[in-house]
Structure 1
Amino acid sequence: MTTRKERLRKLVKLQDQLKAVHETRHAGFLAESIAAGNEAAELAGRFDKEGSMSALFPEIYHDRIGRALAQQQASERMARDEAEKLAAATARTNMVERAYRDAVRKHDRDTADRERLEMIERKTIAGEGR
């Protein structure tokens, strides 16, 4: 049978892993957003350069710039959603960590109390045996 302390310790570990997943996903979405923004800026910069194919195929350039900007917005939206999930996971992790610390303190107090009682019993038994 597992104690409350052991269950909470496992839950803290699980919450930390979940928090790490959200942090990783958030960072990934931010990186995707930056990459899409850079691509749109690069395409827009090439659009007006001399010798650019944009004069021959302006629709393709506009379409690709539009898709890059849409991808940037979508990635930013997903990053915000993931940031909210990360905040919730952080709050849950903090609550579980507090509960775990409380359980450890209670366990330590109970152990110390038991040791004191055993010591008192040994002294009582030793005193009666004289």
Structure 2
Amino acid sequence: MTRCIGISVRPVIELSKNAAQRMIPQKWGRIINIGSVFGEGAPLPGVTMYIATKFAVHGFTRGLSRELGVVEITVNGVQPGPIVTEMSPENAPHSEVMKKLTSLGCYGRVEEVASAVASLALPESAYINGETLTVDGGWNA
């Protein structure tokens, strides 16, 4: 349990804290936390602690948005679904199950997650605060 929190929650809190300390004097900034589609629900058994940590990231993002919004720092999140990475290859034993949980029937690409992050960082996104953009191929549809 402690290891899961140390990997999934503590870094988000520490990085957000460090970023906020640099942004507060400027009264402007964007903090974008990366969570997981598991921060929205529990679609599979056997990953309870992982799910709990992703809910924690989601809640932390919303709470921090309230605290930093007053100094024009927005805090948002991106929750990827199944994405092709070195740790999660498209041909892994569990990949067919994961693909079936999306309405598109496939894994996403890292570039699609990066695009969501980049859009939240734009000056034109200044009124988006405390939100989590889900990039999941229709997992939560």
The structure that has the greater radius of gyration is 1
Greater helix percent: which structure?
1
- Normalising by structure 1, we get a TM-score of 0.29
Higher strand residue share: 2
Using the size of structure 2 for normalisation, the TM-score is 0.28
